[in-house]
Amino acid sequence: MGVRTGFEEATEAYQLPRLIRLAPNLHAASFSLMKLVPARFILRRALADGQLEPGTVIVETTSGTFGLALAMQAAQLDRRLVLVSDPVIDERLYRRLVDLGAAVDRVPAAAATGPGGYQAARLRRLAEVRAGLPASFCPEQYTNPDNPRSYAAVAELLLESLGQVDCLVGPVGSGGSMCGTSTYLRTVLPECRAIGVDTHGSVLFGHPDGPRELRGLGMSLMPANLDHRVFDDVHWCSAAAAYAATRQLHRRHALFMGPTSGAAYLVARWWAAANPAAVTVVMLPDEGYRYLDTVYDDGWLAAAGHRDPRPPDEPAVLDSPVPDSPASEAGPWTAYGWARRSYAEVMAAGDPVPAP
């Protein structure tokens, strides 16, 4: 083995997860900021391909951690960055983005009621911003195949460290992390199971678009980077269940993570306990600092109506991805055997689906 050396830059130092054992057969892939993986890969590749000349402005639509990851890498590369976001952006995140030199362009609050909600409005605004710039580069995390591709580095780490991975569990948003990591793991381990964690009211796996309290996973628009045929199972997790599991992850394992990590942990712990012979890995995408005054504040949780500190013990397993009854009646945690089918195959096989 070589001697230990330092990192060239912060984004390199922070991008890969730490692997931590949570149970005999359950390992956490705990990221500081998972979105650094695609942000760093895409921007460095654009630089190498000559798409990021010194005057080129990086533009992207995001209200979340992908923007932070881009801002960190843009600062490292000394490039300007414009982020088009929702009107309501987390104040802590906003301050970090601005301190990193990013310009944050917020769409008007009225866009919430338009078709496609904020996500569609952000895409329209992004096109306007680009039209006004002489040279711009958009990483396009929802459609750029380099997003899933960048997760080869995570699959490398998992295979080198664990050798065997029978099941990968993680939240789904753009589709990049779960599709990329599972696909690359399956180069060596074709039978590796992939379990996607979504939330009620997200269109990703067939729900009609609806209000979603749990942020950071799920979508109002279908991202091209989501390859549905990767997934063996899909789980839908409510905000309450995710928050309770987030706190449990912290209390039991001292892992201070955000609520999408909690949702993934909820599912992974259940699956690993039910399959004790299977090596299970759970993706924990970001840390808990942004949620100190919310998920980690009992007063806030109570005020938001989340009074039960215990997450549910097991999911309600559905015969169809879309519950017949409203989400509140189907339960805080539901699951469906997706069986590596395409979206169209699942929708054709299931009950009639209300138009989104």
Partner 1 sequence: MLDHSPATTAARPGRHPTDAGVGVGSAPGHHGELLQGVFDDGAGRLRRALVTLPQPDRGSRAIFYPSQRHWGVVGTPELIKVRRAAILALREFSTHPSPAKGGQVEIISDVPRGIGMGSSTSDVTATIRAVADYHGVALSREEVGRLAVRAECAADSIMIDDRVVLFAHRDGVVLETFGHRLPPLLVVGCDTQPGVRVDTLALPPAEYDDREVGALGVLRSALRRAVATDDVALLGRVATASARINQRFLPKPGLEDLLEIGRRHGGCGIQVAHSGTVAGLVFDARQPGVEDSVRRCTDRIEELGLVPTGTVGRVPGRPGGSGTAAGLAPGTVAGRTAAARTPA
Q: Kindly state the smallest distance separating residue 235's Cβ from partner 1, in Å.
A: 26
- CB neighbourhood size of 298 (10 A): 11
Query: Cα 233 to the chain's mean position, in Å?
Result: 16
Q: Kindly state the smallest distance separating residue 188's Cβ from partner 1, in Å.
A: 5
DSSP code of residue 287: B
Query: Cα 44 to the chain's mean position, in Å?
Result: 21
The β-bridge relationship of strands 57-61 and 136-137 is parallel
- CB neighbourhood size of 349 (10 A): 11
Q: Kindly state the smallest distance separating residue 179's Cβ from partner 1, in Å.
A: 12
Q: Kindly state the smallest distance separating residue 292's Cβ from partner 1, in Å.
A: 36
For partner 1, the closer of residues 82 and 189 by Cβ is 189
- CB neighbourhood size of 164 (10 A): 11
Q: Kindly state the smallest distance separating residue 48's Cβ from partner 1, in Å.
A: 8
Tell which residue, 169, 135, 137, has the closest CA to residue 45. Answer: 137
Residue with tokens 């689906």: 353
* Residue 58 identity (one-letter amino acid): I
For partner 1, the closer of residues 126 and 185 by Cβ is 185
Q: Are 105 and 125 in contact (CB under 8 A)?
A: yes
Q: Kindly state the smallest distance separating residue 274's Cβ from partner 1, in Å.
A: 25
For partner 1, the closer of residues 31 and 184 by Cβ is 184
DSSP code of residue 35: T
Tell which residue, 35, 43, 15, has the closest CA to residue 139. Answer: 43
The residues that touch partner 1, with contacts defined as CB under 8 A, are: 145-146, 149, 152-153, 155-157, 159-161, 163-164, 184-185, 187-189
For partner 1, the closer of residues 160 and 313 by Cβ is 160
Q: Kindly state the smallest distance separating residue 110's Cβ from partner 1, in Å.
A: 41
Tell which residue, 217, 216, 197, 219, has the closest CA to residue 208. Answer: 219
- CB neighbourhood size of 317 (10 A): 11
For partner 1, the closer of residues 44 and 96 by Cβ is 44
The β-bridge relationship of strands 193-198 and 167-171 is parallel
Q: Kindly state the smallest distance separating residue 164's Cβ from partner 1, in Å.
A: 8
For partner 1, the closer of residues 65 and 150 by Cβ is 150
Q: Are 91 and 63 in contact (CB under 8 A)?
A: no
DSSP code of residue 277: T
Q: Kindly state the smallest distance separating residue 7's Cβ from partner 1, in Å.
A: 14
For partner 1, the closer of residues 78 and 160 by Cβ is 160
For partner 1, the closer of residues 47 and 316 by Cβ is 47
Q: Are 281 and 158 in contact (CB under 8 A)?
A: yes
For partner 1, the closer of residues 156 and 314 by Cβ is 156
For residue 153, what are the contacts with CB-CB under 8 A and spacing of at least 6? 15, 16, 37, 41
